[in-house]
Amino acid sequence: MKTIYFDNNATTKVAEEVLKEMKPFFCDLYGNPSSMHTFGGQISRKIRNAREQVANLLSCDPAEIIFTSCGTESDNAAIKGTLAAAPKKRKVITTRVEHPAVLSVCRDLENHGYTVIELGVDKKGNLDLDQLEEQIDDDTALVTIMYANNETGVIFPVEKIAELVKSKGTIFHTDAVQAVGKIPLNLSKSNIDLLSLSGHKLHAPKGVGALYVRKGTRLHPFMVGGHQEAGKRAGTENVPGIVGLGKACQLAAKNIKEENERVKYLRDKLENAILRKCPDCILNGDKKNRLPNTANISFKYIEGEAILLMLDKYGICASSGSACTSGSLEPSHVLRAMGVPFTAAHGSIRFSLSRYNTEKEVDYTIEKMPQIVKKLRKLSPFVEKG
């Protein structure tokens, strides 16, 4: 059975072109880019090239890109590094719907005497910018707000937020792990100070990420050791990963508009058919203002986990809005923050597509979903049987 992969917000397939570009850096070009010899020197040129490719996708200066090991590291480096550079300021503003890579860091800061404000969202997952403005004061060291939500795909007005934060003289970081490679970004015209991205969300391998640090932004290094990455991130570089990330950014930059339209067409076809054919379903998030690849749907009266297991039987991979932690099923903090009722949050499924999905896969899933929902509703204790 062929796998149909609709879980691209969790991770993506490494593009063939990316793998090809990476291969020589394992057994042939394996030198250390910090070495003085020519063998090492040619590797540092490849890293420079990859830095240019990433910068080109974001329209920024290559010197503003620091390679890291993942999105989580980039988020940690941005938040902790900013606070360490401004130790007198003790307030951080974020949102309730961030990924744990940001939210857990912020919540931990509360244990270290920081005041952390978590802004709420409305039913569609959108922020109230007036509330944000009210909260920024002289004690605020950092505002960290994600670009696009990993569960619903909802896109925050990050450029507007960056402008607002700058007007108050505060630093702004955005976790753009789900946005980079999916929607066009242009940092040359932006007031964003720090931006995190992760390779494995855009068809590069796992274990590589990057942090954009706008020129002049004060940031204390999060990893200390050697002089790699201009002293901003110590540790011998993951050369194949960095080369792969560069290539993935080049591929994304080349096709982003066309891919967007194609992926959006497939996502809309899948989503509209499910909402039409399966009764008692609701779309979570803002239908208009979201990533082109993400659909988050709640199926009333059934558990998301049960749907996932049945989809899995047909070779279809998706993900659910609840995570099984310590034996209890916790509904998604994102959906709960949006006011989605407990039971509907439990019955939510996220389909996230990529450029490698086909219409045939979408049609197959459209055929299977109503059967799955009908079958599970028959077993549900919450549905009245006629």
Active site (catalytic) residues: 324
**Interaction with ligand PLP in 160-179: which residues (CB under 6 A)?**
175, 177-178
Match 């439990």 to its residue by tokens: 346
Asked if residues 114 and 105 have their Cβ atoms less than 8 Å apart, the reply is: no
Task: Tell whether residue 247 is a contact of ligand PLP (CB under 6 A).
Answer: no
Task: Tell whether residue 82 is a contact of ligand PLP (CB under 6 A).
Answer: no
Instruction: Find the binder of ligand PLP among 46, 51, 99, 203 (CB under 6 A).
Output: 99
Nearest to 29 by CA among 49, 41, 43: 43
Interaction pattern, residues 331-370, with ligand PLP; x per rule: CB under 6 A: ----------------------------------------
Please report, for residues 131, 132, 147, 171, 359, the alpha-carbon distance to residue 95 in angstroms, rounded to integers and kept in the order given: 11, 10, 11, 15, 36
Instruction: Find the binder of ligand PLP among 146, 281, 344, 369 (CB under 6 A).
Output: 146
Instruction: Find the binder of ligand PLP among 150, 293, 294, 322 (CB under 6 A).
Output: 150
62 C-beta neighbours (distance < 10 Å), count:
14
**Interaction with ligand PLP in 60-79: which residues (CB under 6 A)?**
70-72, 75
Rg for the chain, CA atoms, rounded: 22
Task: Tell whether residue 198 is a contact of ligand PLP (CB under 6 A).
Answer: yes
Q: How far is the CB of 350 from ligand PLP (least distance, A)?
A: 11
Considering beta carbons, is residue 105 or 251 the nearer one to ligand PLP?
A: 105
Q: How far is the CB of 149 from ligand PLP (least distance, A)?
A: 7
Percent of the chain that is helix, strand, coil (3-state, to 5): 45, 20, 40
Nearest to 318 by CA among 287, 285, 347: 347
How many residues belong to the site for ligand PLP (CB under 6 A)? Answer: 14
The amino acid at residue 158 is: V
Task: Tell whether residue 81 is a contact of ligand PLP (CB under 6 A).
Answer: no
Considering beta carbons, is residue 281 or 292 the nearer one to ligand PLP?
A: 292
Task: Tell whether residue 209 is a contact of ligand PLP (CB under 6 A).
Answer: yes
Give 88's contacts (C-beta < 8 A, 6+ positions apart): none
Residue 359 C-alpha from the chain's centroid: 25
What 3-state DSSP class applies to 141?
strand
- Interface residues with ligand PLP (CB under 6 A) are 70-72, 75, 99, 101, 146, 150, 175, 177-178, 198, 200, 209
